[in-house]
């Protein structure tokens, strides 16, 4: 009996190591980083099939759906390049003339983010963004304000969003950029 269980354990370990060896290593092609003047920050990196960061770990399946967790929520999102939906999530992605729009609902919070070569504007939950890009690297800086339940006055401050790699391109992958923003921006 002991020999059988040892053999099964060894076979399972060999199978698992082969499965891990076949999965290619994550090689980020783009990244979104959020910085606030108070020192708070977050980020998310992506490639064709993964989005990874402190608040996101998503994998795209062969059928184009995405599964994993984002912003503290387990998700199973179906759709395609212009729309993803699932329980309590409905996000639309649009690109035109160098502008990427992300719009919809994420767990009861309204998402409306627009990013182009000159500005990043929008709302996400109880926060609003009005950031402009200066000359030089793709960093958007400006004002962020949030009014959470129970607050009499909004909290406001200066913040920045940096785009790296494909995120800074003329036509970034809209779904990956949009989901990285949803995972990274305050709400």
Residue keyed to tokens 């994998």:
59
Q: What angle do CA 126, 130, 131 make, to 5 degrees?
A: 130
Would 9 be classed as within a structural domain?
no
How many domains are there within the chain? 1
Looking at per-residue confidence, does 13 or 179 come out higher?
A: 179
62-84 per-position pLDDT tens digit: 999 999 999 889 999 999 889 99
Per-residue pLDDT at 61 exceeds 50:
yes
CB atoms within 10 A of CB 96: 9
Would 103 be classed as within a structural domain?
yes
Q: Name residues whose C-beta falls within 8 Å of residue 76's C-beta, 6 or more positions apart in sequence.
A: 65, 66, 67, 86, 87
Would 6 be classed as within a structural domain?
no
d(CA 80, CA 173): 12
Would 10 be classed as within a structural domain?
no
Would 12 be classed as within a structural domain?
no
What local confidence, expressed as pLDDT, does residue 23 receive?
Answer: 63
Would 107 be classed as within a structural domain?
yes
Would 4 be classed as within a structural domain?
no
73-117 per-position pLDDT tens digit: 999 999 988 999 999 999 999 999 999 999 999 999 999 999 999
Q: Is 153 helix (H, G, I), strand (E, B) or coil?
A: coil
Q: Which of 58, 82, 60, 37 is nearest to 175 (CA)?
A: 82
Contact 70, 60 (CB under 8 A): no
pTM of the model: 0.84
E strands, the chain, are 30-36, 41-46, 50-53, 56-60, 66-70, 73-79, 83-86, 89-96, 99-106, 109-115, 119-124, 127-133, 139-146, 155-165
Would 17 be classed as within a structural domain?
no
Domain hosting 34: range is 28-184
């Amino acid at each position: 009996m002991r020999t059988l269980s040892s053999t099964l354990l060894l076979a399972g370990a060999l199978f698992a190591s082969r499965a891990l060896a076949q999965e290619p290593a994550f090689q980020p092609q783009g990244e979104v980083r959020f910085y606030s003047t108070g020192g708070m920050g977050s980020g998310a990196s992506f490639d064709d099939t993964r989005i990874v960061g402190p608040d996101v770990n998503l994998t795209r399946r062969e059928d184009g759906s995405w599964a994993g967790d984002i912003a503290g929520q387990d998700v199973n999102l179906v759709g395609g390049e212009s729309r993803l939906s699932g329980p309590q999530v409905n996000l639309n992605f649009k690109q035109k003339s160098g502008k990427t729009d992300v719009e919809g609902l994420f767990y009861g919070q309204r998402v409306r983010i627009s990013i182009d070569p000159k500005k990043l504007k929008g709302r996400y939950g109880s926060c609003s963004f009005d950031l402009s890009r200066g000359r030089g690297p793709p960093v958007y800086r400006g004002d962020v304000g949030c009014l959470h339940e129970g607050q009499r006055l909004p909290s406001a401050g200066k913040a920045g969003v940096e785009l790296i790699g494909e995120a800074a391109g003329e036509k970034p992958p809209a779904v990956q950029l949009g989901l990285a923003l949803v995972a990274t921006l305050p709400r």
